[in-house]
A and B are shown apart, each in its own frame.
Chain A
Amino acid sequence: MELPQLEHVRLRRCDSAEQKKLTQTPLLKIWVPWMGCNLNRRRGSSVPQFCNSPTMIVMVGLPARGKTYISKKLTRYLNWIGVPTKMFNVGQYRREAVKIYKNFEFFKPDNEEAMRIRKACAAAALKDVAAYFSKEQGQVAVFDATNTTRERRTVILSYAKERGYKVFFVESICDDPEIIAENIKQVKFGSPDYVDRNVDEAMEDFVQRIDCYRASYMPIDDEKDRKLSYIKIFDVGSRYLVNRVQDHIQSRIVYYLMNIHVTPRSIYLSRHGESELNLSGRIGGDSGLSPRGQKYANALAAFIHGQNIRELKVWTSHMKRTIQTAEALGVQYEQWKALNEIDAGVCEELTYEEIQQNLPQEFALRDQDKYRYRYPKGESYEDLVHRLEPVIMELERQENVLVICHQAVFRCLLAYFLDKPADELPYLRCPLHTVLKLTPIAYGCKVESFFLNIEAVNTHRERPVNVDVNRNPEDALQTVPDHI
């Protein structure tokens, strides 16, 4: 049961004379009761708040079972959907404490000195988790370590219980030697632990490292641990056991973990070809491609053909310019309304000059906080992310996909794949007529950029120096790109 937020409970008499007026916050366009200057304790928020108590996600599993892969990916996803999340990798703490890794003997169960260090590292990590929750307003902490003994997990559970944190375990179980060898190759060879070792030495040492844990490994037990909340992932997602999901965020985490896979594939992101409105420097609308935009569509078709991609899926928005672009490919495509460009509300089809002329305050507010700023009767980047979440979920399920979309949408998707924070997201460079090929690799994503050699206007407007609402028009329009 979630505790009510006590600071918000106010039982007031509700006479019409006393009914509080509502005011709309100028940046987020959220209606809140007028509280004079006390707007920061408002009750509304632009996206529903689902976390009351902080949550610790605790990884469990032998080395090379994908714990860090899952931790990083989950952290990236949660941050993208707006849940402040941070990863705490105990191995990192150990590297800072020990400085030089000699060999697997450090991990031998009878190595008392090492045991002491490792325990201290886990404790230090837990302390940092507490600091993250209490001082940095974190909501989820991912505690990435083997946590293979019941004893260690008990320590974590007590720590969490004392402080009112919820705990959700994620255990990865895999005995397929090929998968484990692949893991070691992908991420261990590049580890700081093996920087001076060749591939065979690293492999041999790591295998013995895994053996050190094996004897004392106590997987989460169906009977003994039936009161705990956890998901057990078997054989890289073939099978899952889910126990006692407590709340919304745990339910979302389970859904996400059940949709991700490790099959190699590439995601191609592109904007529509240059549009008529692009040429005249107008935002939004639903115009068709310009002649150069049409050329790009043809070039894209040739490029895709040249890439020789297995079973490529193609997605577009519901807007004419992305569909026209896809049409040139001559293959099936799926239209997603969720991929439509950000709704600029009253500013639809205006130039930046017109926005400055008619709505100078709005224009300034947008520069002050481009991520959270919502156009009047329109959307914000924050709204866009919320709208795109099912697209991301389906992209995770898919294999080879080409997404033809729009500038703001592209930025949101790119920020997800490249783990860009909210303040960078609205300024990511996504020029027209350029395809990005994203290939998941190790813990991240390889990016290859292909400019298909067809000229186009620049639609990227940088944050100007002066974002004050009283600035003069030149300062406001300082960074507007050229157009007709």
Chain B
Amino acid sequence: MLDNDEFMLETSPRELTQNPLRKIWMPCKNGHIAQRRVCMTNCPTLIVTVGLPARGKTYISKKLTRYLNWIGVPTREFNVGQYRRECLKIYKSFEFFRPDNEEGLKIRRQCALAALNDVRQYLSVEGGQVAVFDATNTTRERRGTIIKFAEQNGFKVFFVESVCEDPDVIAQNIVQVKLDSPDYTHCNTEEVIEDFMKRIKCYESSYQPLDEVLDRDLSYIKIMDVGCRYLVNRVLDHIQSRIVYYLMNIHITPRSIYLCRHGESDLNIKGRIGGDSGLSARGKEFAKSLRKFIQDQNIKDLKVWTSQMKRTIQTAECLGVPYEQWKSLNEIDAGVCEEMMYEEIQEHYPLEFALRDQDKYRYRYPKGESYEDLVQRLEPVIMELERQENILVVCHQAVMRCLLAYFLDKTADELPYLKCPLHTVLKLTPMAYGCKVESVYLGVDSVNTQRDRPENVNVQRTTGDALQTVPAHL
């Protein structure tokens, strides 16, 4: 707020210094970096799922959590069913959920409160920004408790209700995720379905969906019939807007996403990073093998995406089908290090080389990018991948690591070291709450471009230590 008390006319401006790792300009006085005033206007957000069992609440919770973490918003999900399993140890039958089972109700209420307590811990103490409270929350009373809890702790609340009456969809849900639930380890399929249907019935009589009139002051999205229709009420801020956009773009139609790198390039062979070179002879072989592989997969309506760099386009050209070029899929910009070998980087920029090993995710090349920048650049690609069905993305090592980290829920520390070798196609098929991965090496030799984190990341390390993990090249 710009008022008289806060406004200061700086007669001698603060000096700026550039953080050596992230290349961010920050003010400093007398050589000390000023503590950047943390923007506290974003209070934490509590996302609350609402809906009968088998309506996709946990699916949505997990997916949303994965997405938010990937874009850099610390998020955690709290599944009340988990708390119940830890409390009860053994699940006997649907009778536990009967509305007249007083003992059951008491336990369930305790579990919800325990989960809320952990939410408070995560958001207020551990620096989390979003907590996803995954439970049925089907009564107005339960939701009232949560709203009060949030008010007391200064959290914003956003409800995500999933409404679905299509018996096929519900049956499919049960088959996909309930059969494997810890609750049903010793039951066969028919038993599971029968018990679970009765479980759903226990909730039905007391279910009070979010009401257009009674709940008009709440912030929520109602998802109807697996994304056919949405009702969105009172989106309060940026993060809620992003959440709504994301939820409106995801779908559950079965499909597969194929990820691969361009074929081996001329610069790859020389051990040089970046650049815009063409395919080597082996790279061209890979392109042909890729074409055969794709044809054999017999994929319905496959879309193909490449970057705008020669090597991915050359690879796609060989497939003989239309493809879309995305500048956002271009390899990470190594700035002044473009087209250098690791040996040269160590020789000319030993400090930079060490800083990169210290924090490879946040490290930004001078006049270049960081993995963190890459993720931001790739977010629209991910959003569009969610909308699409069968798709092949021909990209680059760092880019593929970022995309893979999104699909496989890898953390920022793991991301820059994910193994994405040349001439290998990853087939990702969404399944249950996650993603099945099949790795297909197409049998064409290539250099290894994976450089693992060396032991010694100190800026004073010897050249030998620095180059310890550099893969072989010409």
Please state if A327 and B7 are interface contacts (CB–CB under 8 Å).
no
Name the contact of B322 in the complex, choosing from A5, A332, A334, A397 (C-beta under 8 A).
A5
B241, CB-defined interface residue at 8 Å: yes
CB distance from B158 to the nearest CB of A (A): 14
CB distance from A309 to the nearest CB of B (A): 6
Please state if B25 and A318 are interface contacts (CB–CB under 8 Å).
yes
Name the contact of B278 in the complex, choosing from A1, A22, A46, A377 (C-beta under 8 A).
A22
CB distance from A4 to the nearest CB of B (A): 7
B86, CB-defined interface residue at 8 Å: no
Please state if B308 and A44 are interface contacts (CB–CB under 8 Å).
yes
Please state if A251 and B248 are interface contacts (CB–CB under 8 Å).
yes
Q: Residue-by-residue, is A298-312 near B (CB-CB < 8 Å gives 1, otherwise 0)?
A: 100110110011111
Interface size bucket, A side?
Answer: 35 or more
Please state if A19 and B238 are interface contacts (CB–CB under 8 Å).
no
Q: Residue-by-residue, is A243-264 near B (CB-CB < 8 Å gives 1, otherwise 0)?
A: 1110110010011001100000
Query: A245 CA to B387 CA in the complex, in Å?
Result: 11
Chain B residue with the shortest CB-CB distance to A286? B367
Chain B residue with the shortest CB-CB distance to A320? B25
Count, A-B residue pairs, CB within 8 A: 164
Query: A45 CA to B323 CA in the complex, in Å?
Result: 10
Please state if A327 and B10 are interface contacts (CB–CB under 8 Å).
yes
The interface stretch among A9-17, A120-128, A143-151 is A9-17
Name the contact of A312 in the complex, choosing from B2, B238, B284, B323 (C-beta under 8 A).
B2
B405, CB-defined interface residue at 8 Å: no
Given A30-B325, A330-B7, A16:B320 Cβ within 8 A: no
Q: Counting chain A CB atoms within 10 Å of each CB, which of B10, B212, B338 scores highest?
A: B10
Please state if B291 and A14 are interface contacts (CB–CB under 8 Å).
yes
Chain B residue with the shortest CB-CB distance to A314? B2
Given A327-B10, A330-B10, A386-B327, A241:B310 Cβ within 8 A: no
Chain B residue with the shortest CB-CB distance to A382? B327
Q: Which residues of B contact A226 (CB under 8 A)?
A: 229
Please state if A324 and B318 are interface contacts (CB–CB under 8 Å).
no
Please state if B13 and A14 are interface contacts (CB–CB under 8 Å).
no
A140, CB-defined interface residue at 8 Å: no
Q: Which residues of A contact B244 (CB under 8 A)?
A: 258
Q: Which residues of A contact B462 (CB under 8 A)?
A: none
Q: Which residues of B contact A255 (CB under 8 A)?
A: 241, 245, 248
B131, CB-defined interface residue at 8 Å: no
Please state if A31 and B308 are interface contacts (CB–CB under 8 Å).
yes
Q: Which residues of A contact B367 (CB under 8 A)?
A: 286, 348
B65, CB-defined interface residue at 8 Å: no
Query: A20 CA to B315 CA in the complex, in Å?
Result: 11
Given A327-B16, A332-B37, A258:B235 Cβ within 8 A: yes
B125, CB-defined interface residue at 8 Å: no
Q: Residue-by-residue, is B271-301 near A (CB-CB < 8 Å gives 1, otherwise 0)?
A: 0000010100100100110010000000001
Chain A residue with the shortest CB-CB distance to B222? A241
CB distance from A426 to the nearest CB of B (A): 18
Q: Which residues of A contact B13 (CB under 8 A)?
A: 294, 297, 324, 327-328
A323, CB-defined interface residue at 8 Å: yes
Query: A243 CA to B248 CA in the complex, in Å?
Result: 10
Interface size bucket, B side?
Answer: 35 or more
Please state if A239 and B7 are interface contacts (CB–CB under 8 Å).
no
B349, CB-defined interface residue at 8 Å: no
Please state if A239 and B25 are interface contacts (CB–CB under 8 Å).
no
Q: Which residues of B contact A288 (CB under 8 A)?
A: 16
Given A240-B231, A394-B238, A383:B327 Cβ within 8 A: yes
**Which residues 376-428 in B have Cβ within 8 Å of A in the complex?**
376, 384, 387
Query: A226 CA to B308 CA in the complex, in Å?
Result: 41
Q: Residue-by-residue, is B223-254 near A (CB-CB < 8 Å gives 1, otherwise 0)?
A: 00000111111110110010011001100000
Q: Which residues of A contact B284 (CB under 8 A)?
A: 16, 19
CB distance from B443 to the nearest CB of A (A): 17
Q: Which residues of A contact B438 (CB under 8 A)?
A: none
B81, CB-defined interface residue at 8 Å: no
Q: Which residues of A contact B191 (CB under 8 A)?
A: none
Chain B residue with the shortest CB-CB distance to A29? B308
Given A44-B308, A251-B387, A31:B313 Cβ within 8 A: yes
Query: A377 CA to B288 CA in the complex, in Å?
Result: 29
Query: A415 CA to B426 CA in the complex, in Å?
Result: 42
Query: A242 CA to B230 CA in the complex, in Å?
Result: 5
Given A240-B231, A241-B230, A4:B39 Cβ within 8 A: no
B324, CB-defined interface residue at 8 Å: yes
Please state if A397 and B238 are interface contacts (CB–CB under 8 Å).
yes
Name the contact of A331 in the complex, choosing from B6, B287, B305, B338 (C-beta under 8 A).
B6
Chain A residue with the shortest CB-CB distance to B370? A337
Query: A31 CA to B330 CA in the complex, in Å?
Result: 13
Q: Which residues of B contact A (CB under 8 A)?
A: 1-2, 6-11, 13-14, 16, 18, 23-25, 27, 37, 39, 212, 216, 228-235, 237-238, 241, 244-245, 248-249, 276, 278, 281, 284, 287-288, 291, 301, 305, 308-310, 313-314, 317-318, 320-327, 338, 367, 373, 376, 384, 387
* Closest A-B pairs by Cβ, 9 of them: A330-B8, A8-B322, A240-B232, A242-B230, A44-B325, A11-B320, A31-B313, A14-B318, A323-B25
Q: Which residues of A contact B (CB under 8 A)?
A: 1, 4-5, 8-12, 14, 16, 19-20, 22, 24, 29-31, 33, 43-49, 226, 238-245, 247-248, 251, 254-255, 258-259, 286, 288, 294, 297-298, 301-302, 304-305, 308-312, 318-320, 323-324, 327-328, 330-332, 334-335, 337-338, 348, 377, 383, 386, 394, 397
What are 24 residue pairs bridging A and B, where the CB atoms are less than 8 Å apart in the complex?
A: A20-B317, A22-B310, A22-B317, A29-B308, A31-B310, A48-B324, A49-B324, A238-B233, A242-B230, A243-B230, A245-B248, A248-B387, A255-B248, A286-B367, A309-B2, A310-B1, A318-B25, A319-B25, A328-B10, A330-B9, A331-B2, A335-B24, A337-B373, A338-B376
